[in-house]
């Protein structure tokens, strides 16, 4: 009986994580970071670069596994992506914004208090891909 209840609870939690809404107005917002930062719930990076680097970052995000665009476009200068973990489908959100010759990146978790550095690693890999490193 307890085992069956536990299975139901785990499946309900997995369904909630997978299907909980991601309101665009909450997640597709301007990046407020003005310097590189690492926090328990995510990370921010600031790069110098114009349209070509912004397009490269967009392409690199589009090529990431389990990643889709939540909102935005190259033309608008801001794109927010959702990347889901492989097993439970935990969503992480990454916003890339171009302001003049500055590109601001902010990656953060949707659930929990700590992402265990996953978003920092994602940003570092993304930047390395675009910079050819």
pTM exceeding the 0.85 threshold for the entire prediction: yes
Spacing of C-alpha 78 from chain mean position: 13
pLDDT of 86 over the 80 cut:
yes
- CATH number for 22-131 (one of 3.30.310.80, 3.40.50.720, 3.40.50.410, 3.90.550.10): it is 3.30.310.80
Q: Return the structure tokens found at 60.
A: 């690199």
- Convert the pLDDT of each residue in 11-34 to its tens digit: 888 888 888 999 999 999 999 999
The whole-number pLDDT of residue 133 equals 61
Q: Where are the domains of the chain?
A: 22-131
- Convert the pLDDT of each residue in 94-132 to its tens digit: 999 999 999 999 999 999 899 999 999 999 999 999 987
pLDDT of 66 over the 90 cut:
yes
Residues forming a β-bridge with 45: 105
What gap in Å lies between CA 128 and CA 30, rounded to an integer?
23
Tell me the Cα Rg of the chain: 16
**What's the average model confidence in pLDDT over 36-52?**
95
| Contact yes or no for 74/58 (Cβ under 8 A) | yes
The whole-number pLDDT of residue 22 equals 96
Cβ neighbourhood burial of 107 (10 Å; 0-12, 13-18, 19+): buried
């Amino acid at each position: 009986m307890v085992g069956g209840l536990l299975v139901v609870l785990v499946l309900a939690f997995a369904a909630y994580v997978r299907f909980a809404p991601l309101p665009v107005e909450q997640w597709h917002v301007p990046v407020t970071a003005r310097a590189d930062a690492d926090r328990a719930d995510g990370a921010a990076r600031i790069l110098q670069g114009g349209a070509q680097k912004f397009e490269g970052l967009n392409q690199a995000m589009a090529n990431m596994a389990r990643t889709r665009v939540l909102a935005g476009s190259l033309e608008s200068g801001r794109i927010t992506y959702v990347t889901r973990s492989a097993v439970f489908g935990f969503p992480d959100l990454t916003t890339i914004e171009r302001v003049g010759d500055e590109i601001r990146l902010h990656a953060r978790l949707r659930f929990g208090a700590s992402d265990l550095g996953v978003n920092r690693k994602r940003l570092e890999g993304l930047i390395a891909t675009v910079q050819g490193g």
